[in-house]
Copies of this chain bind each other. A is one copy, B any other.
Amino acid sequence: VRVGEYLFRRLQEEGVTHTFGIPGDYALSLYAAQEACGMPTLVMTHEPSVGYAADVYARLKGLGVALVTYGVGALNMVNATAMAYAEQSPLLVITGAPEVQWQDQNILFYHRVKSAETQLRVYQEVTAAQASIRAPAEAAAEIDRVIGTVKKLSRPGFIEIARDIVDHAIEPPPQRPSVVPAIVNAEEAAGMEEAMREIVGRLQASKRPVLYAGVEIERFGLMREFQELVDKTRLPVATSLLGKAVLPEHHPSFIGTYFGRIGLESVRQYLEGSDCVLALGMLMTLMDTGIHTGVIDRSRLIQVTTQGTSISHHQYPQVTLPAVLRALLRLPRLKKSKPPSRPAPQPVPKVTEKTLTMNGIIAELNGFLTPQHLVLADTGDCLFASVELRADYFIGPGYYASMGLAVPGAIGAQIARPDLRPLVLVGDGAFKMDGIEVATARDYGLTPIIVLINNRTYATLKVSLGDRPYFRLRPWDYVGLAQALGGQGVQVRTREEFHRALRLAEASTDFWIIDAVIDEKDTSLTLQKLGEELQAKTGRKEKGKREGKRSDR
């Protein structure tokens, strides 16, 4: 077996069916090796999009691969990889590299920055495991090590292979180091027992327990177990924004996405008022607390992650999410809670209103989405508005919050899950970044429906600084653009037109851009509340400043 073949066979064993990439000189031997293994690459237009598509594929399949060239390719998707790191996505970045001799002789080859190691050093900052493979003998072990870490931590990894060793024959390792179940020593078992006693004790003593579910449930393949737990206990479930739809949102136990004071008020009251919040699989980021507007009292909080468990203010570092989930499932006598009634739907403008609004768009989507849709929301008000959306499949950058994930991500999503139709919610600012990638959907017969929120502005930024010339976005002819790229488009300005456009797109086998024109000042309820929170905070701060100044005199 040759180095390249070993790599792609390993990926196939891990269930990888496609890679995402852009070919380039140093990566050509890898592309040829991949071709020989019968693995296709979806050729995207630009490396940031490669990263986003592979990231979304990774989120849905447990491993996603970007195959790009050295330097100019890899360094062009650092942000995409950083997002995958922050949001715990098992993205593997594979690149070629100059031949060993060029690296060693310090030749000023093209795509070189400071030294041959520049891209490796950059990737050390945004991945959990890295390998620079320059000798055939080490290749198999290094490939296994990086893939192993990516799978284990659900964080990105990085492999670069000198292009002249890709075709070298190697001895495959006689047997792959199989995943040996960790031997639990007596100390650890006792710790686990103690933690479970406490968790179960708190749940049973609680009058109104609630599950607060995070993204690790999905990333570590625990969605089935989690749903089993929910069905068994009938505990109500809220999710974080990043963890949105780890329980399909039409499930009767789902009460909503928690987002502090700027999210749904009914969810906030239930979660913050609970005497026992069992948070499963979430890192409690700034976003998980509704940008610091929410307060989950730590004395009532049990937080279980893949990195350990904390209960109130004490910690069990060895007690991790998969073990706790399984232990909870084994317990026979878990208290059954009656799920609360579903929160009342948000008030939305009446259909009789001629104009289209963000709230109207969300209301329409809630009436349109089926379990056959996968929603991808981009950063900005689309992400904020998604708090109010009910989706069974949802992907959004709910922590790292980079713009640009949704349109390229739809390519990765439909390749990973051809049974689902991607529906993208993207603002004009994010669409301008890389929305052109929708052209690639046409190349491969994919059919995303893009709902482009055309408000001619970076709406989220206006919340902080008011209207500024550098927040304004000139509208493009998005319908003409869709047609120029080989798809279809329609502009809508009323709720009724939007309603019809969704159905038109749904019935079509093309990709669609629905250019949804709303007022420049219109925002979702969430963003509106965020604005109010910021103003109140700034007002308080300003007040404090003035007082401070006065006392200075």
Q: Please give the residue numbers on chain A whose beta carbons come within 8 Å of chain B beta carbons, in ascending order.
A: 21, 23-25, 28, 31-32, 35, 41, 43, 45-48, 71-72, 75-76, 78-79, 82-83, 85-86, 107-114, 118, 121-122, 125-126, 283-287, 379, 399-404, 432-434, 436, 439, 442-443, 458, 460-461, 464-465, 468, 470-471, 474, 476-481, 483-486
Contact = CB atoms under 8 A, between A and B. Distances in A.
17 contacts: A28-B461, A32-B465, A35-B468, A46-B404, A71-B79, A71-B82, A71-B400, A72-B79, A72-B400, A78-B78, A82-B113, A110-B286, A110-B399, A112-B400, A113-B126, A476-B484, A476-B485
A476 B486 contact: yes
A76 B402 CA distance: 10
Nearest to A478: B484
A550 B460 CA distance: 69
A48 B48 contact: yes
Contacts of A400: 71-72, 110-113
A279 to B, nearest CB: 14
A286 B82 contact: no
Most interface-central of A43, A434, A460, A486 (chain B CB within 10 A): A43
Nearest to A85: B113
Given A48-B48, A461-B23, A464-B28, A470 B41 contact: yes
Contacts of A379: 72
B443 A439 contact: no
A442 B78 CA distance: 29
Nearest to A76: B79
A45 B432 contact: yes
Given A108-B283, A110-B286, 15 more contacts: A45-B433, A46-B432, A47-B79, A72-B79, A76-B78, A78-B79, A107-B286, A110-B285, A110-B287, A113-B400, A432-B439, A436-B436, A476-B484, A476-B485, A481-B485
B78 A122 contact: yes
Contacts of A72: 79, 82-83, 379, 400-403
Nearest to A43: B470
A455 to B, nearest CB: 15
A404 B109 CA distance: 19
A438 to B, nearest CB: 11
Contacts of A284: 108
Contacts of A432: 45-46, 436, 439
Contacts of A442: 474
A112 B125 contact: no
Nearest to A128: B114
Contacts of A480: 480, 483-484
Nearest to A482: B484
A379 B72 CA distance: 11
A75 B79 CA distance: 5
B481 A484 contact: yes
Given A79-B72, A110-B287, A122-B122, A484 B484 contact: yes
A402 B26 CA distance: 13
Contacts of A486: 474, 476-477
B31 A470 contact: yes
A247 to B, nearest CB: 23
A449 to B, nearest CB: 19
Most interface-central of A23, A79, A126, A483 (chain B CB within 10 A): A79
Contacts of A122: 78, 122, 125-126
A332 to B, nearest CB: 37
A55 B20 CA distance: 29
Contacts of A283: 108
Question: Lowest 5 A-B CB distances belong to which pairs?
Answer: A480-B484, A108-B285, A72-B402, A75-B79, A76-B79
Contact of A401 (B45, B107, B111, B470): B111
Nearest to A288: B108
A463 B376 CA distance: 39
A541 to B, nearest CB: 10
A465 B108 contact: no
A75 B80 CA distance: 9
Contacts of A481: 481, 484-485
Nearest to A442: B474
Most interface-central of A21, A78, A403, A480 (chain B CB within 10 A): A78
Nearest to A471: B23
A404 B24 CA distance: 13
A476 B486 CA distance: 7
A443 B41 contact: no
A265 to B, nearest CB: 23
Contacts of A404: 46, 76
A25 B534 CA distance: 13
Nearest to A29: B465
B461 A25 contact: yes
A260 to B, nearest CB: 14
B470 A23 contact: yes
A401 to B, nearest CB: 4
